Amino acid sequence: MFPIHSHMQMMSLQPVMFPQPQLLIPFQPVLFPLQHPHPFLQSQPLPNPYPQPLLQPATHAKTVYILSYSSEVIKRTPGAQAKLQTLCPGGIPALLTVNCQTWRAPLPDACRNCSGVNPVVQGYVLQSRTAVEEIDKAVTSLVNHLNAGNAVASIQTTCHAGTHRSVAAADIIAQKIRRRRVHAVVRHAHRKRGPGDLR
């Protein structure tokens, strides 16, 4: 055994701690200049995260003209028939004329207060089975004519005064045609507006 020197006995081992260096890298975002975008971005458009809805095709490619008139005015007024023809552009011949004179008339109070554009009068017209059948027949004729490749069609409705039943029939036909995505132009040649009408 070797003797342990006194100065070595006094020494004690202590761990030595060295500070670790810290790496500080500043954050620098990479931005493409707006004036000179990356070549890839020039040729490849970025996908849109919110795509727009597809455009619907034009819905008014076909047009129906619906004309209501008074049979009494046509009978008694010179030149009324010729003037009636000018209300339909291009002189399009009517596929058929719906004669509304045989239909049940609205109640007198409704006739005094409203014309056929009013829902009250139209409700009276739709209570008649004959009226509903003839209106549906007219709509079927128009649809068949358009499905045959025609872009324009014309139809007429008539009653004695041209204010109630014929006007209501024209408006009801227009509503049914528009539900089939067809543009409908309604013209009332001899309608007299009632105090209860909104238009």
Q: Is the pLDDT of residue 179 over 90?
A: yes
Least confident of 2-6, 91-95, 126-130, 172-176: 2-6
Secondary-structure breakdown of the chain: helix, strand, coil percentages, each rounded to the nearest 5? 35, 15, 50
Q: Strands 152-159 and 63-70: what pairing? A: parallel
Neighbours of 109 (CB within 10 A): 10
Under 8 Å between Cβ of 64 and 141:
no
| Confidence tier at 58 by pLDDT (50, 70, 90) | very low
Under 8 Å between Cβ of 192 and 161:
yes
pTM (global) more than 0.95: no
Residue 54 has a pLDDT of 46
Under 8 Å between Cβ of 161 and 72:
yes
